[in-house]
Chain A
Amino acid sequence: MGEIFVLAEHRQGELRDVTFEMLGKGQELAVAMDAPLAAVLLGHNVDDFATELARHANQVVVVEDERLEHFNSAVYQQVLAQLITEREPGLVLIGQSAQGMDLAPSLATQLGLPLVTDCVGLEFEDGQLLAVREMYGGKVSARVAFKQANTYLVTARQAAFPFEEGEPLGGEVITVGSPLTEEIAYRRFIEYVEAAVGDVDITQADVVVAVGRGIKEVDNLPLVEKLAKAMGGVLAGSRPVVDAGWLPPDRQVGQSGKTVKPKLYLAVGVSGASQHVVGMKASSTIVAINKDPDAPIFKVAHYGIVDDLFKVVPALTAQLGGS
Chain B
Amino acid sequence: MDIVVCVKHVPDTTEAEIAIRDDGRGIKKEGLVFDINEADNYAIEEALLLKEEFDGAITVLTVGPPEADETLRMCLAKGADQAVRLTDERFEGSDGYATARILAEAIKDMDYDLVLTGVQADDDGSAQVGVTLAEVLGIPHAALVVSTETEEDEDRMTVHRELEGGLHEVLEIELPALLTIQTGINEPRYASIFGIRKAMKKQIEVLNLDDLELAEEAVGEAGSRTSLVKLFIPVVTAQATILEGSPEEVSGELVTIFKNEGVI
Contacts and interface: CB of A to CB of B under 8 A. Distances in A.
Do A and B touch directly, given a CB cutoff of 8 Å in the complex?
Answer: yes
B242 A141 contact: no
A232 interface: yes
A141 B264 contact: no
A152 to B, nearest CB: 9
Interface stretch (B50-58, B76-84, B131-139, B203-211): B131-139
A303 B234 contact: no
A141 B126 contact: no
Contact of B257 (A207, A249, A303): A303
A221 interface: no
Contacts of B132: 105-106, 108-109
Nearest to B178: A106
Given A118-B126, A192-B168, A288-B240, A113 B225 contact: yes
Given A106-B135, A115-B128, A137 B227 contact: no
Contacts of B192: none
A134 B171 contact: no
Given A102-B131, A263-B263, A304-B241, A186 B174 contact: yes
A305 to B, nearest CB: 5
B170 A315 contact: no
B160 A193 contact: yes
Interface of B: 11, 13-15, 18, 20, 27, 96-97, 100, 119, 122-132, 134-136, 140-144, 158, 160-174, 177, 180, 182-184, 224-234, 236-243, 246-248, 250-252, 254-255, 257-258, 261-264
Interface of A: 11, 16, 71-74, 96-98, 101-106, 108-110, 113-118, 130, 133-147, 149, 158, 185-196, 206-207, 231-232, 239, 242-243, 249-250, 252, 255-259, 263-264, 271, 284-288, 292, 298-307, 311-312, 314-316, 318-320
27 contacts: A105-B128, A105-B132, A110-B135, A113-B225, A117-B126, A117-B128, A130-B229, A134-B234, A135-B231, A136-B18, A139-B18, A145-B227, A187-B171, A187-B174, A190-B171, A194-B166, A257-B166, A258-B165, A264-B263, A285-B261, A298-B242, A299-B238, A300-B238, A302-B241, A303-B243, A312-B250, A316-B247
